[in-house]
């Protein structure tokens, strides 16, 4: 019974998302830019860079000693794979999850359709769970697809360029299968909490910037040498976010009541 209820809500929310180009297109464009266009541009661009550059800015970065001994192409590719792209990649689960959740929660409220859902025979907890799943599942699948696209492009590009630099599989696996789901849930729960006070979908989306800002800190922190985003740190970050998700879940449940959502 519950599975049929969940399926009905998931289909309804996805139909709304994929039926609106303004909502749907950003979910496609963002992964294509971050996981296809930027990597292709990088791989093409590094072929025009000389092997050695005197007084290179990369000599000032906190790169591992074995990487510092390599050429400029390897340094640029290493920095991109380990510092730049991981932080940009996390924008995909954040934005896709917040877009779908915003449509499912705030969008229903804005369009005055939330009342009929809340007062249906389905329990509030079942509606809440279905809405969470309808945002999380597509976000996770899009993130995994984006990673596979990025992996394919980078592996082909590295081989064609003749660059001797291994792809950080463990790091990116943790990023995709551990950190990204935690970030997706974080975005969804934040959107649920926001939906209690936000009047419009645009208003809710503006507040999601508070999740995006820490991702920019990941880039700045690594480039400045404050920390290195290795596999252990990724695991710790994912664990910390999952713990945060647990408390946000409790807050979300308290906010997901008819009195707050209808007003």
262 with 118: CB under 8 angstroms? yes
DSSP 162: T
Block residue for tokens 């992996």 = 151
Distance of alpha carbon 187 from alpha carbon 208, whole angstroms:
8
Distance of alpha carbon 109 from alpha carbon 196, whole angstroms:
9
110: left (phi over 0), alpha (psi -120 to 50) or beta: alpha
| Model pLDDT, residue 261 | 59
Cα 85 off chain centre by: 12
DSSP SS3 for 246: helix
Distance of alpha carbon 37 from alpha carbon 19, whole angstroms:
25
Q: Following DSSP, what letter does each residue of 46-106 receive, concatenated?
A: GGGS-S--TT-GGGGS---HHHHTS-HHHHHHHHIIIIIHHHHHTHHHHHHHHHHHHIIII
End-to-end CA distance of the chain: 30
pTM of the model: 0.88
| Model pLDDT, residue 113 | 64
Cα 106 off chain centre by: 20
Distance of alpha carbon 190 from alpha carbon 207, whole angstroms:
9
Distance of alpha carbon 1 from alpha carbon 72, whole angstroms:
59
Distance of alpha carbon 133 from alpha carbon 121, whole angstroms:
19
pLDDT tens per residue, the chain (263 residues)? 567 767 777 787 778 777 778 778 888 999 999 999 999 999 999 888 776 665 556 666 677 777 777 788 888 899 899 988 998 999 999 999 988 888 877 766 666 666 666 666 677 788 888 889 989 999 999 999 999 999 999 999 988 888 888 899 999 999 999 999 999 999 999 888 887 676 676 777 777 777 788 888 887 887 777 777 889 999 999 999 999 999 999 998 887 776 555 55
Distance of alpha carbon 87 from alpha carbon 34, whole angstroms:
10
């Amino acid at each position: 019974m519950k599975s049929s209820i969940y399926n009905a809500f998931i289909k309804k929310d996805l139909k709304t998302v994929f039926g609106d180009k303004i909502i749907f297109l950003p979910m496609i464009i963002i992964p294509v830019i971050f996981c296809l266009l930027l990597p292709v541009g990088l791989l093409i661009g590094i072929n025009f860079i000389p092997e050695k550059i005197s007084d290179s800015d990369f000599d000032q970065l906190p790169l591992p000693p074995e990487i510092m001994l390599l050429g400029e192409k390897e340094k640029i590719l290493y920095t991109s794979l380990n510092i730049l792209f991981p932080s940009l990649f996390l924008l995909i689960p954040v934005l896709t999850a917040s877009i779908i959740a915003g449509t499912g929660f705030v969008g229903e409220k804005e369009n005055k359709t939330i009342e009929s859902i809340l007062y249906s025979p389905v329990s509030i907890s079942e509606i809440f769970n279905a809405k969470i799943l309808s945002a999380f599942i597509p976000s996770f699948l899009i993130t995994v697809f984006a990673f596979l696209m990025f992996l394919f492009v980078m592996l082909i590009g590295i081989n064609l360029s003749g660059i001797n630099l291994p792809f950080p599989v463990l790091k990116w696996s943790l990023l995709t299968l551990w950190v990204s789901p935690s970030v997706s849930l974080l975005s969804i729960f934040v959107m649920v909490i926001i939906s209690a006070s936000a009047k419009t979908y645009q208003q809710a989306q503006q507040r999601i910037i508070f999740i995006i800002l820490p991702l920019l800190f990941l880039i700045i922190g690594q480039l400045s040498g404050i920390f290195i985003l290795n596999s252990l740190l990724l695991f710790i970050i994912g664990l910390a976010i999952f713990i945060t998700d647990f408390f946000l879940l409790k807050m979300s449940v308290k906010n997901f009541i008819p009195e707050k959502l209808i007003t």
